[in-house]
Structure 1
Amino acid sequence: MKKGRSFPVEKHISILISSVLISASVFSAVSLFGTANNANAQASSSAQSNPVTTVAPQAPLLVSGLPDFTQLVEKTSSAVVNIRTTQKITQVQGDPFNEDEQAQELFRRFFGIPAPQQAPKNRRQVPRPQEQEVPRGVGSGFIVSQDGYVLTNAHVVEDASEVVVKLTDKREFKAKVIGSDRRTDVAVLKIEGNKLPKIAIGDSDKIKAGEWVIAIGSPFNLDNTVTSGIISSKARDTGDYLPLIQTDVAVNPGNSGGPLINMRGEVIGINSQIYSRSGGYMGISFAIPIDEAMRVVEQLKSSGVVSRGRMGVEIGDLSKEVAESLGLSKAQGALVARVETSGPADKAGIQEGDVILKFNGNAIEKRSDLPRMVGATKPGSKAIVSVWRKGSAKDITMTVGEADADKPIQKNDKKIKKEKVENHLGVTVSDLNDAQKRGMPNGNGVVIDSVDGLAAGSGLRPGDIILMMNNVDIKDAKQFDAMLAKLDIKKSVVLLVRRGEASQFLVIRPAG
């Protein structure tokens, strides 16, 4: 067995003592020389002054401390409101899209359990649909006038049959929807009251990236919740008609429609969107600039709808390579990809392949500038469009058209008149629009306009799309009505119905 080398203990002790003595000697020498040197330095300083050492001046602090938001919240929070909405829905038994009933049916078939006994023939087998008010959602808003005008998002009140506004002092008011604009996501409400608390309107053009702002709203229905942050960007291109304000203020579901407030206590934006992969706040939120929103508000208050100009073109981005090939010095402007036949641009002589450089003298820096400029132009007015075509610029005079406006909001005190149904199934249909056709196989199908009788009792709803009837593809409303007229009213009808992203076969059985 090999053994490692070792030293005697006495030799280890001797080496250790020697090391300590050497270290002590060196330390003493260093101390002595250091003392001498210090003495010499002191003596020398008495004879002559030391050289001047140049030190750079310290830069002043650009930011000092954190803001205190308490006075700001006290000043503005009373004008921020909670908004809750309800919606009328029709409930019927045997809804074919009810997942619980589908699961029970599959369970019964798999295990061979007999179907439940049907009701006697002398009893009514088709239940009548019943309308019921159900909670639709919650949001936020803020009062802008003492007589009760309230601003919020259009998506907060969309499809609502009743809107209730709740103040911080617990008072509640039923609100009337004056107008709503989906394109900018702005809505105006009116509540009956006097000397109501209101909030001041600021100037969103003067905001700067980096300045402090707060949001007040009702995230997850928690009234008067305050969050703070800074403006990340003042003009983020995420909206079709509006460049939105980007912030890092925490905004969650329920904050929609609430105010974004600057340090002066003024509203500079309406909180509208968040960027999220989870449905909750992830560090980025967006607000509608209040200057743009107020322009929409004035039109909604006067007519209930917003009038916008249109050109009738599809535009695309202009890449650097394409700009160079066309002889442009830089990639600036909007490239015309398609011109609508007989539209305003077509009538004026604008062509595919043109690059629109200016609109009424205003430069088009990027593609998104054009629809905003055109949309803000009064329909019927003349506009000068500067285009780049075949190596040179050209001015074209165009009469601005009018964009399709959002339909006016149905007033809460009016009932929608139902179309009369005159076939034995109790269903009326119409052809699909272009958007609906794109989502259907081969573009086939018809959309249900109204239901009654057997159709309502079987669970069909307005908005459902019928794809097939008795194993025959439905192409349009004319074909559907012709087939319906030839049906035997004593036999069942099998429909393939699409609702949302799901399709389901539905059997409508004759009554009695």
Structure 2
Amino acid sequence: MRTETSSQPKRNKFLAAILAAGVAGGALSAGVLSNAPAVYAEPVQVEAPQQSFGFADVVSKVSPAVVSVRVSQSAEPAADFGGMASPFENLPEDHPLRRFFGTPDGNQMPRGLNPRSPRDRPSIGQGSGFFISEDGYVVTNNHVVDNGAKYTVVMDDGSEYEAKLIGTDERTDLALLKVDAKNTKFTYVEFGDDDAVRVGDWVVAVGNPFGLGGSVTAGIISARGRDIGAGPYDDFLQIDAAVNRGNSGGPAFGLDGKVIGVNTAIFSPSGGNVGIAFAIPASVAQDVVRSLRENGSVERGWLGVQIGEVSDDIAEALGLSNAQGAIVTLPDNETPASRAGIETGDVITGVNGEAVESPRELARMIADYSPGTDVEITVFRDGDSETIDVTLGNLNSLDEAASLDEPRGQGSPVDPSTLSGYGMTVTPSEDGEGVVVTDVDPDSSAAEKGFEAGDTIVAVNGSNVASQSDVRAAIDAASKNGRRAALFQLRNADGQNRFVALPIEKS
């Protein structure tokens, strides 16, 4: 039996005291670390109405108004789904890859199993559309119905109706169909106010991607005012909802069930959805559709000028306080603009007192007027503003085949001259109008600004030039007037004009 010495109780009590102190100290240390107040900046607070996250209520209401548009053509088109080309459409009928690629209407079927050549049967293209009236008017894209011979509208419930083409507008890629069905009232939707739509607002796209009618995708408005080079009136809404081939002509809805855009194009290196799609704004579509419904076509005012951007350099060279407006690179021959006295080098800054910010805005402003309308065009010329009265023409009467190229006379070879300090070698043109740039130093300011061999310098600061000395004299005059840049009017080999501001080299 073990006996305890008198010193053991004392040692045990001492160890217990140390352990207790350690536990208490640890608790105290932990308490200090966990309870110390932290100081942070106030986070962003957004007061927004709480809503259930879902689109089912919107979709259930609008889906009956959205249709698939099936287009029959007399010959197989070179592209599927309203203009999307297939690299496999010309494979031989017995090629083994035939089984992996679909028919033009998007149905995944082994085309090679059909004993008849696709060229021997009518081809089918498909897109989307939507009713805008109970009596059967359907909006879609022009490229969906282009070259069509027969149009069929397929409803959400699978029923089909024949439709006739009322009119198209190639410049905005819109088309209007009409379904005539006795004693039938169609569910339809109306256009909304796209001006009230903000970047970040929800959008719901309903359509017929890859022939799969009634498909719904959702996303947000990711940008506004996109110019994708489709035409002079580009002002697209960019959305990130999944939009694919076959969605063309389908509606993009706001959460109130109103159409804020018509899906018309996608950006896709691969041909599939990458989250960048473009829709025609409702405000544009509504005006075009109204004109198609009333007249079968769209009539727009026509000024008859070629225009370009006013850069900071051009504004400086001309003495403009702001880089805005549209510079006239060339008034077409015998147009409303040329007859009224608008000249090359004029900067159009206003229409009927309304400021013009850019060439694209000028094109839209003029197009909004009816042919025959008298408008006041404000131009900046030779350092002053003046107003020119113009009676607009009809854009539909424009002869697209007119060429700006003029035959050049034959002249004797002339030795080139060097514009010292600008890195250019020039020679008088054969027709005596301007000087031709024969060489550009790649390290010069001229090369940086886009001068190229083959360009013709037609004028400098509004003064026509026919020799190197004329160019030098115009530059010197601009320098004496306090300009830091000279404005060159250049014409390329295709006869197209542009303006480039070149910084004046100090000698």
**TM-score under structure 2 normalisation?**
0.62
Deviations 1:42-93 (A, max 9, x none): xxxxxxxx999988766534566773101110010011001111111399xx
Alignment of 1:206-355 (within 5 A): 206-238=196-228, 239-355=231-347
CA pair 28-342 structure 1, distance change in 2 beyond 3 A: same
SS at match of 1:404: helix
Q: Which moved more, 1:246-255 or 1:53-62?
A: 53-62
User: Offset of 1:132 from its aligned partner?
Assistant: 5.5
Supply the RMSD in Å over aligned alpha carbons: 3.5
**Does the alignment pair 1:156 with 2:144?**
yes
Match of 2:168 among 172, 177, 180: 180
The 1:216/1:353 distance shift into structure 2, 3 A limit, reads same
Q: CA deviation at 1:202?
A: 1.1
Match of 1:204 in 2: 194
Specify the SS of the correspondent of 2:195: helix
Q: 2:217 & 2:76 partners in 1: Cα distance?
A: 39
Shift of 1:31: 5.1
How far apart, CA to CA, are the structure 1 residues paired with 2:129 and 2:27?
Answer: 77
Higher relative contact order (CA 8 A, sep 6+): 1
Deviation at 1:253, TM superposition (A): 0.7
Q: Percent identity?
A: 41
Change (3 A) 1:225 1:262: same
Partner of 1:389: 381
Structure 2 unaligned regions, length at least 5:
1-15, 78-89, 96-117, 406-507
**Counterparts in 2 of 1:76 and 1:163: CA distance versus 1, 3 Å:** same
Tell me whether 1:189 sits opposite 2:166 in the alignment.
no
- How does 1:3-42 map onto structure 2 within 5 Å? none
Partner residue in 2 for 1:414:
none
8 Å CA contact retained: 1:136, 1:160: no
Q: Matches of residues 74-153 of structure 1 in structure 2 within 5 Å?
A: 74-89=60-75, 133-153=121-141
Question: What do residues 156-213 of structure 1 show as CA deviations (whole Å, max 9, x unaligned)?
Answer: 0010000100101221111000001110111110001321111132111211111001
Do 2:302 and 2:367's aligned partners in 1 also have CA atoms closer than 8 Å? yes
Question: Equivalent residue for 2:350?
Answer: 358
CA 1:86–1:35: 2 relative to 1, 3 Å: closer
Q: CA, structure 1 residues 434+344, in 2 after alignment: closer, same or farther (shift >3 Å)?
A: closer
Q: Is the 8 A contact 1:247 1:286 kept in 2?
A: yes
Question: What is the letter of the counterpart of residue 156 of structure 1?
Answer: V
Q: How far is 1:288 from its partner?
A: 0.7
Q: Residues 358 and 34 (structure 1 numbering): CA distance in 2 closer, same or farther, change over 3 Å?
A: same
Q: Secondary structure at the match of 2:122?
A: strand
Output the CA distance in 2 between the equivalents of 1:160 and 1:136.
9
Q: Which residue of 1 aligns with 2:45?
A: 60
- 1:236 alignment partner AA: R
Relative to structure 1, is the Cα distance of residues 406 and 132 closer, same or farther in structure 2, using a 3 angstrom cutoff?
farther
Query: Conserved in 2, the CA contact under 8 Å of 1:87 and 1:133?
Result: no
Give the aligned length: 347
Q: Offset at 1:285? A: 0.5
Residues 1:145 and 1:28: Cα distance change in structure 2 (over 3 Å): same
TM-score by length of 1: 0.62
Which structure 1 segments of 5+ residues have no match? Answer: 1-23, 42-49, 92-97, 104-129, 408-431, 438-512
Asked if 2 retains the 8 angstrom alpha-carbon contact of 1:88 and 1:131, the reply is: no
Q: Which contiguous aligned blocks of 4+ residues in structure 1 show a shift greater than 3 angstroms?
A: 24-39, 50-66, 98-101, 130-133, 432-435
Alpha-carbon distance between aligned partners in 2 of 1:308 and 1:135, rounded to the nearest angstrom: 34
- Distance change >3 Å, CA 381–CA 195, structure 1 → 2: same
Cα deviation code 1:243-272 (max 9, x no counterpart) = 111111111110000000000011111111
Which amino acid letter does the alignment assign opposite residue 328 of structure 2?
V
Secondary structure, in 3 states, of the residue corresponding to 1:330? Answer: coil
Paired with 2:323 and 2:72, the residues of 1 have a C-alpha distance of 49
Q: 1:53 to 1:154 in 2, by over 3 A?
A: closer
Q: Is the 8 A contact 2:299 2:371 kept in 1?
A: yes
Residue type of the partner of 1:84? R
2:75–2:123: 8 Å Cα contact kept in structure 1? no
* Change in CA separation of 1:167 and 1:390 when aligned onto 2, cut-off 3 Å: same
- The one-letter amino acid paired with 1:60 is Q
User: Structure 2 CA distance, aligned partners of 1:253 and 1:158?
Assistant: 16
Rounded Cα–Cα distance in structure 2 between residues aligned with 1:160 and 1:38: 78
Instruction: Name the SS of the counterpart of 2:270 in structure 1.
Output: coil
Give the distance between the partners of 2:75 and 2:328, measured in 1 at CA. 44
What secondary structure sits across from 1:200 in the alignment? coil
